[in-house]
Structure formats: structure tokens, C-alpha cells
Amino acid sequence: MEMSVLIADDHPLFREALKDVVREVFGPDIRLIECTTLAEASAAIHDDSLELALLDLNMPGMQGLNGVASLRRSAPVVPLVVVSADERSEVVQAALALGVCGFIPKSTPRQQMAEAVRRISADGEIYQPPTLAGHDTNSPTPLPLTAEQQAMQTRLGSLTRQERCVLEAIVAGKPNKIVAHELNIAESTVKAHVSAILRKLEVSSRTQAVIKAGPLLAG
């Protein structure tokens, strides 16, 4: 079956830029489905050939993350990637919590954007802006941990040293093959560690691990 990628953005120039990025990653023969509204995206999201969907948060009908949530419910297995000019950390984290496979700021240079799409599509990576991997100097003083965060902190304590290293790599957005290389272990061992991490943290996906455990790792 011919592969296709959905590009949903109402800005024609940026849509052209995304088309160039997609062709660079998937090749010139990739089928492109262009949408300019949430209604159009909702109709196209059920295409069986979809490999990826790139979504703008501000096109007509989206209502920000509400549109993302709607598309996620409508097509739970299609990899969704938000490409947005809104780079606030709370927006990025909220999008990831909805189950998207990545959040790419529109300010990202083209080559870096192509690399992000490649890492999401080929490596199964959950991509987030590099600025979120470090400390945000503009962040307010952290609030006391909630009961849920305290429970997650306890679960983090149950990880072995190597499992914690793997988790830290996942939070940093590294795919399994890179983690395997950096830790000098087999990729199959990384996958086994990931399964153990998800079980111990009582989460069902890498995305949930990033969202719920990631902010606690620096503590």
C-alpha cells in the first residue's frame, strides 16, 4: 500500500515547508494529504495508508488541544505530531499527555525539523523540544509534590540503576538504538528494561512515563 502523510495547517507557506520536510524524510514519492481545517483533518485521519499526521494547533476548528484530543480519539493508532508556534512548556506537556508522538516548534530550523520527523517515524521516538530536556531558568519555584507525584517518586525508587539510566534517556528523547549504544547493551535489553520500567511505574506507554516521571527525575 502507498504510504501517505497528513499535513494539517491553514498557512500555505508553512504547509509547503512541511511538504519539503516530509519529502526529505520519506522520499519524493510519498503521498501527501493536505488539510486546512479540523473538519478536513477529521475526515482524512481515517485513511489506512497514513504513516504520520502533522497538526497545527491554530487552524480553523482546532480550538488548540481540543482538536488534538478529538483526532486522538478518532484515530488512536495514527502517530500524531503537533507542529506549532506556541512553544510554552505547559502546552508541549499537555499535548504529549494526550498521546501525541512529538511536538515540534515552528521555529525549528528545517534540517532539525526533518531530523525530528525522522526520529519519530523511523525510531519510534517521542520527540519534544530540546529546551525541555534541561532546566528552564524562567520556571517559577516548584510547588510541593502532589500525592500522585509522591507515589510516582516512590515507584522511581524501585528502578534499578540501569533502568533509571534507560528512563533518563527516554525522557531525553533518545530512541532505543541510541540508548543501547550509549549504555553498551543490546537493543533487546533496552526493550526489556523499558517494559520493566513501564510496569514498575504503573504506566502503559513511553509517553506516560515521560510526562509523569520525567519532571521528577531531576529531584
Domain boundaries, the chain: 4-133, 147-217
pLDDT confidence tier of residue 142, bands split at 50, 70 and 90: very low
Stronger pLDDT, 219 or 194, i.e. the higher one: 194
For the stretch 114-125, pLDDT in tens is: 999 998 888 788
For the stretch 71-114, pLDDT in tens is: 988 888 888 999 998 888 888 888 888 888 899 998 888 899 99
In this chain, the answer to whether the domains covering 4-133 and 147-217 adopt an identical fold is: no
As its CATH architecture, domain 4-133 has 3-Layer(aba) Sandwich (3.40)
Q: Alpha-carbon distance 104 to 21, whole Å?
A: 12
Q: Alpha-carbon distance 48 to 3, whole Å?
A: 9
> pTM of whole model > 0.85?
no
As its CATH architecture, domain 147-217 has Orthogonal Bundle (1.10)
pLDDT confidence tier of residue 132, bands split at 50, 70 and 90: low
pLDDT confidence tier of residue 140, bands split at 50, 70 and 90: very low
